[in-house]
Homo-oligomer: A and B are copies of this chain.
Amino acid sequence: MRQLKLIVLFVIFCNQSIVFAQQPADFVNPFIGTSNYGATFPGPIAPRGMASISPFNVAGAPNKLEKDSQWLSNPYVHENTFLTGFSQVNLSGVGCPELGVILLMPTTGNLETNHLRYGSTYTNEVAKAGYYSTQIDKYNVKGEFTASKRVGVSKFTFPKGQANVLLNLGLGLTNEQGAMVQVVSSTEIQGMRSVGTFCYNSPEAAYPVYFVAKFSKPADRFGVWKKPDTYKGVEAQWMPYNGKNRMMEQSTKMVVGDSIGSYFSYNFEKTETVEVKIGVSYVSIENARENLEKETGNKSFDAVYKETYNEWNELLSKIKVEGGTRDDKTVFYTALYHTLIHPNTLNDFNGEYPEIKTGKIAKTDGTRYTVFSLWDTYRNVHQLMSLAYPKQQSDMVKSMLDMYDENGWLPKWELNSTETFTMVGDPASIVIADTYLKGIRDFDVQKAYQAMLKSADQIENNPLRPGLKDYIEKGFVTTENGGSVSTTQEYNAADNAIALLANELGKKDDFKRFKNRSLSYRKLFDKNYKLLRPRVKDGSLYEPFDPNAGANFTENVGFIEGNAWQYAFMIPHDIIGLKKLMGGDKGFTNQLQNIFDTNQFDMANEPDIAYPYLFNYVKGEEWRSQKLVEELVRKHFKNTPAGIPGNDDTGTMSAWVVYSMMGFYPIAPGEPKYTITKPLFDKITIQLDSKYYKKSELVIEKETNSNGKIKQIEVDGKTHKEYFIDHSDLVNAKTLKISLE
């Protein structure tokens, strides 16, 4: 009987394990996107966390992709092998090298501070939501990592003997140099690292990230190293230390320099663990310390991990998917996870944050968000937030409006309170209009509207809309400005959003004016090519014109990050008009299909990512969208490190697959509507926030015996004849039922 009881208990235990394993957070695989230039990182981060930890394996010749020998925008590459530390602030899915600094590295034996010499291979990587661990081969040290919102927590298990924890402030992914460090005591280090110059732009906007590192065990020895310039000439003769690392043992002095670091050393008589908590702040060392203490205080590694895991699980559980394979769920929840990293928290625990541009310290009662890669995210990320996390989306809009207050302008590509001016267009208007029109209205819409008008109408000294004078006068940006066609299309989209908001706010004149402006892309339409073409200053067509030029990010007159094919259909607000230009349904369909047939479609970049859905605009051709979307999901999104088609673009690729797997997509950014395709799960339940929505949840059901095309769409049991649905209809529905043939 006794044995039977044990068996019963074992069965119960196994069942419970399985129950745990089925939580949404358990389907997160942070390795997805760490290859194929996905630019995600596998280390831990809390939802929208300021701090994060990434294994850093992009420095040093043993690595296949090395940060200094090519353009590399991520601290970790899955196929690399040479680890030189664990960076404490990181960006996920961006296109330029930035952050990836404050590198913690455990070593053993004699102290070595040159990363090319102390670097190591590693094995047994484990990555989960809020957790990463690996074995560092050279030192036989296990590293485990978790993070709260503003604190990274590292736990190193050292073998007997001399153990060292290095804090390297020289090495980093950023192009910016310079750091300050000071050992406060045998358990604490404080300092700052300069970062900035994102995309090699605006080096003058470099800014500090401050940190405080607390160690669970007092160091037996500590110190600072500094590697100054190598002197030449007569001085070199007098310097026995010329070009060498200077070791400042037991120093508690403030040290600054481009290549500096600090170390703690231990003499362990048996296997021992050291936990290192690193609080960060963009305001001050004091705030970094407060962040650390208030968030993690005396909490154990496991306690911090559990809290962060629970936070992830709660957020990811807002969307429950049923059916599908384990890999489907992993792709889905990892993508959703990737949409919940950026925009991230900028403010400290006490609410302080640096204002945009000036860096003046301000304070918020809520959350100040940062990392707005709006050229990417205006297309689908914010739409996903508005649906499933409307409070977050509302706070993001408020942060954007605060930037306008601080800076006089809405953000374009904002990064830690610097405006990087990366990419083109004026996407903030689209995001804000989209949010408002979806009924998320707890922000100052009048201010938002004024801000939009300013960037849309101010011709002189307008940092957001270069080429605006031509655009207003001629209807298009001319080739005097880079990416003139792309930019015209972006301005059209923004103007359409302004028009829609004007309409909602009862500003009829503005509505007409901006609606009119939003259609000016038509002046670039070339009937022969059925493509948009750049025009020069005098209005004539730019010659020569090669529609295929500009693929794969090569430079191309008229287009940014794409060619004429990849931009031809990027008129989300006027597909009806575009159809006419292209010769009606047939011409439109042929031209669109041609792009896919000739491999001009690029899944990995934003301009054409809505293309697969555009067949929905042609009655009877919707099956093409259903087929294409499913094929693209299956082809490009996988439960592997290369499982994102390219750069995740702060969650934009991920939001695409989240929507696509749910069976609908925000086809026209700024307009509160979706287009419908085939869900890839049997059932999707989206919890709705009662503060913004009447219904508590939305259920999407797929009814199917085969995997054919859509036979019928029903909303709360009533047949829905279109492949489009308004946002309000969707969120007020109980069930969206999609039946397949």
**What's the least CB distance linking A320 to chain B, in Å?**
44
Is A11 interfacial (CB 8 A cutoff)?
no
- Chain B residues within 8 Å of A246, by CB: 203-204, 206
Q: Do A180 and B71 touch (CB < 8 A)?
A: no
| Interface-side segment among A135-143, A250-258, A323-331, A370-378 | A250-258
Greatest chain B CB density within 10 A among A68, A231, A256 is at A256
Q: Do B229 and A177 touch (CB < 8 A)?
A: yes
Q: With A and B bound together, what is the CA distance between A252 and B362 in angstroms?
A: 13
- Chain B residues within 8 Å of A240, by CB: 200
Is A707 interfacial (CB 8 A cutoff)?
no
Q: With A and B bound together, what is the CA distance between A358 and B257 in angstroms?
A: 20
Q: With A and B bound together, what is the CA distance between A623 and B568 in angstroms?
A: 107
18 extra interchain contacts, Cβ-Cβ under 8 A, other than A68-B234, A68-B235, A178-B226? A69-B233, A177-B229, A177-B257, A178-B255, A180-B256, A192-B254, A203-B228, A203-B239, A203-B241, A203-B246, A204-B251, A205-B248, A207-B253, A208-B253, A228-B258, A256-B256, A256-B257, A257-B258
**What's the least CB distance linking A200 to chain B, in Å?**
4
**Could you say which of B69, B206, B231, B254 contacts A234, with CB atoms under 8 Å apart?**
B69
Is A566 interfacial (CB 8 A cutoff)?
no
Q: With A and B bound together, what is the CA distance between A239 and B197 in angstroms?
A: 9
Is A359 interfacial (CB 8 A cutoff)?
yes
Q: Do B251 and A359 touch (CB < 8 A)?
A: yes
**What's the least CB distance linking A599 to chain B, in Å?**
29
- Chain B residues within 8 Å of A197, by CB: 241
Interface size of A by Cβ–Cβ distance < 8 Å? 48
**What's the least CB distance linking A336 to chain B, in Å?**
33
Interface residues of A in 232-268 (CB under 8 A from B): 233-235, 238-241, 246-258
- Chain B residues within 8 Å of A178, by CB: 226, 228, 255-258
**Could you say which of B200, B254, B354 contacts A208, with CB atoms under 8 Å apart?**
B254
**What's the least CB distance linking A232 to chain B, in Å?**
9
Contact with B along A145-175 (1 / 0, CB 8 A): 0000000000000000000000000000001
**What's the least CB distance linking A653 to chain B, in Å?**
24
Q: With A and B bound together, what is the CA distance between A550 and B229 in angstroms?
A: 33
Q: With A and B bound together, what is the CA distance between A233 and B70 in angstroms?
A: 9
- Chain B residues within 8 Å of A358, by CB: 250, 252
- Chain B residues within 8 Å of A175, by CB: 231, 235, 239
**What's the least CB distance linking A175 to chain B, in Å?**
7
A226 touching B255 in the complex, CB below 8 Å, given contacts A70-B234, A238-B200: no
Q: With A and B bound together, what is the CA distance between A239 and B204 in angstroms?
A: 13
Is A179 interfacial (CB 8 A cutoff)?
yes
Q: Do A359 and B252 touch (CB < 8 A)?
A: yes
Is A339 interfacial (CB 8 A cutoff)?
no
**What's the least CB distance linking A209 to chain B, in Å?**
10
Select from chain B the residue with minimum beta-carbon distance to A258. B258
Select from chain B the residue with minimum beta-carbon distance to A282. B253
Sample of 24 A–B contacts (CB below 8 Å): A68-B234, A175-B231, A175-B235, A175-B239, A176-B228, A177-B257, A178-B226, A178-B255, A180-B180, A194-B256, A200-B241, A203-B228, A204-B247, A204-B249, A206-B248, A206-B253, A206-B255, A207-B253, A208-B253, A208-B254, A208-B256, A250-B358, A252-B358, A252-B359
Identify the 5 closest CB pairs spanning chains A and B, nearest first: A178-B256, A178-B257, A253-B359, A204-B248, A200-B238
Select from chain B the residue with minimum beta-carbon distance to A210. B254
Is A360 interfacial (CB 8 A cutoff)?
yes
- Chain B residues within 8 Å of A255, by CB: 178, 194, 206, 208
Q: With A and B bound together, what is the CA distance between A68 and B234 in angstroms?
A: 7
**What's the least CB distance linking A713 to chain B, in Å?**
49
Q: Do A229 and B258 touch (CB < 8 A)?
A: yes
Q: With A and B bound together, what is the CA distance between A197 and B229 in angstroms?
A: 14
- Chain B residues within 8 Å of A234, by CB: 68-71
Interface residues of A in 213-232 (CB under 8 A from B): 226, 228-229, 231
**What's the least CB distance linking A289 to chain B, in Å?**
16
Contact with B along A566-602 (1 / 0, CB 8 A): 0000000000000000000000000000000000000
- Chain B residues within 8 Å of A359, by CB: 251-253
**What's the least CB distance linking A172 to chain B, in Å?**
13
- Chain B residues within 8 Å of A235, by CB: 68, 175
Q: With A and B bound together, what is the CA distance between A234 and B240 in angstroms?
A: 32
Greatest chain B CB density within 10 A among A226, A233, A250, A253 is at A253
Q: With A and B bound together, what is the CA distance between A258 and B233 in angstroms?
A: 19
Select from chain B the residue with minimum beta-carbon distance to A169. B256
**What's the least CB distance linking A90 to chain B, in Å?**
20
Q: With A and B bound together, what is the CA distance between A238 and B239 in angstroms?
A: 34
Select from chain B the residue with minimum beta-carbon distance to A233. B68
Interface residues of A in 447-504 (CB under 8 A from B): none
Interface residues of A in 282-309 (CB under 8 A from B): none
**Could you say which of B206, B252, B256 contacts A226, with CB atoms under 8 Å apart?**
B206
